[in-house]
Amino acid sequence: MSGDLLVKDVRPMGGSVTDVRVRDGRIEALGQRLEAPGDAATVVEGRGELLLPGFVDAHAHLDKTLWGLPWRPHSGGPTLAELIRNERRHRRELPPVAQRAGNLLAAYVAAGVTHIRSHVDVDPEAGLASIEGVLEARERFRDRVTVEIVAFPQSGMLVEPGTRELLEAAVEAGAECVGGLDPAGVDGDPVEHLDAIFGIAARHGAGVDIHLHDCGELGAWEVRLIVERTRALGLAGRVMISHAFCLSIVADGVFDELARDLAEQRIAVATAASPRGEPLPLRRLRDAGVAVCLGQDGIRDLWSPYGTGDMLERAMLLAWRSSFRRDEDVELALETATIGGARALGLEGYGLDVGCHADLVVLPGEGLAEAVVSRPPRSLVVKRGRIVAGRRASTVA
């Protein structure tokens, strides 16, 4: 099927009803009673439903998932170290990464997710096997969803000799970003940890995405170190801090300082609506100019039995965790799963304007807040102008 499409009678972001004409995978026109972009174009009746840009999962772990496998009771302990050990103990029992990641990618596509950033483990025991598995699944789904990979030292880097070299090898093999994990709390040497990660990124033109669970002043100090290296190496707009729990609890003056520096260096912040601690102050971060995005984190894996691949569900959890009730606040949670994710990841041509890539989702609902709360089935999912999922995918004209 070509990338030429006409979607009739939809409401972009809950606004007025319009048609959307797509040619060669991009939005060519919006307006009333548009003509199809050619005799071979596909025409879909939108029936006045909502039109959103494709959802963005900015923090996933495709290699870890158990999606599509029989239910497995959770066996990990409550601490980070216990969860890491539990995963390493049991992962050899699982089917290949490519199979499991592919199972989950199919669920993502059905839910209207069109772009995913996935952290993928590297360590001396597994080597690059997980990277290779996700690369294989990515290739199989390349026409339905875009996947970018972060080489991730889940077991630590400095405490696991050989991991530093594996991170570099993973970037050379196709990972777009190099990841880190609690430079102080796990590796015990924030300066060496961050120097190594940023050094790899600078040598290969890669991005940086660091899991930062360390809280309080320790976490705030590590954020400052990340800002310093971003500035020194000219990596503005290429760095993300995932979780960033410290931003939820530092004093107001410290928060203002950190938010100002993050915005200046275009360092994004990813949240997964974690049940741990206080939720990120979304509106304060956005008002300070910081790009905030949303991710599923792990989905039904050895870390947690939860998750479905539906970013509307995750936006609802974020709104619930943030005690959002007013429509405009619930819509802010949705923004993190769409526009915020695109901004954080630097996605070119994202959105619903003329000239944007036609990554589209159509779903029923009166407004955006209702869509977050009710999470209706997707009527149509489009990737680069091609219909890839949805209840109407088999009934188009």
pLDDT at 219 over 70: yes
pLDDT at 347 over 90: yes
**What's the mean pLDDT in 354-359?**
98
Give residue 2's pLDDT: 67
Mean pLDDT, the chain, whole residue set: 96
Q: Tell me the C-alpha distance between 243 and 212, whole Å.
A: 6
pLDDT classification of 391: cutoffs 50, 70, 90: confident
**Other beta carbons within 10 Å of 159:** 13
Share of the chain above pLDDT 70, in %: 98
**What's the mean pLDDT in 30-39?**
92
Tokens in use for 345? Answer: 């990841």
Q: Tell me the C-alpha distance between 34 and 12, whole Å.
A: 15
Please count the CA atoms within 13 angstroms of the CA of 33 that sit on its side-chain side.
0
Task: List pLDDT tens digits, range 305-332.
Answer: 999 999 999 999 999 999 999 999 999 9
Q: Where are the domains of the chain?
A: 5-53+351-389, 55-322
CA distances from 215 to 17, 158, 185, 212, 249 (A): 46, 20, 9, 8, 8
Lowest mean pLDDT among 141-150, 172-181, 203-212, 273-282: 273-282
pLDDT classification of 393: cutoffs 50, 70, 90: low
Cβ burial of 4 (10 Å; 0-12, 13-18, 19+) is: buried
pLDDT at 223 over 90: yes
**What's the mean pLDDT in 138-148?**
98
pLDDT at 167 over 50: yes
Lowest mean pLDDT among 5-19, 27-41, 330-344: 27-41
Give residue 397's pLDDT: 46
pLDDT classification of 39: cutoffs 50, 70, 90: confident
Q: Where are the alpha helices (DSSP H) in 265-337?
A: 282-287, 311-321, 327-336
Q: Nearest 5°: CA angle at 178, between 174 and 183?
A: 160
pLDDT at 396 over 70: no
Give residue 256's pLDDT: 97
**What's the mean pLDDT in 129-148?**
98
**What's the mean pLDDT in 329-336?**
98
pTM: 0.96
CATH 2.30.40.10 fits 5-53+351-389, yes or no: yes
93 or 53: which leads in pLDDT: 53
Give residue 307's pLDDT: 95
CA distances from 50 to 227, 329, 379 (A): 39, 18, 10
Sheet holding 113-121, edge to edge: 55-60, 113-121, 146-152, 177-181, 207-212, 239-243, 268-271, 292-294
Give residue 295's pLDDT: 98
Task: List pLDDT tens digits, range 278-296.
Answer: 899 999 999 999 999 999 9
Residue-wise DSSP of 218-279: HHHHHHHHHHHHHHHHT-TTSEEEEE-GGGGTS-HHHHHHHHHHHHHTT-EEEE---SSSSP
pLDDT at 41 over 90: no
pLDDT classification of 213: cutoffs 50, 70, 90: very high
Under DSSP, is residue 42 helix (H, G, I), strand (E, B) or coil?
strand
Q: What is the CATH number of domain 55-322?
A: 3.20.20.140
Q: Phi first, then psi: give them for residue 156, nearest 5 degrees.
A: 100, 165
Give residue 80's pLDDT: 86
Please name which of 170, 165, 171, 190 lies closest in space to residue 180, comparing C-alpha atoms. 190
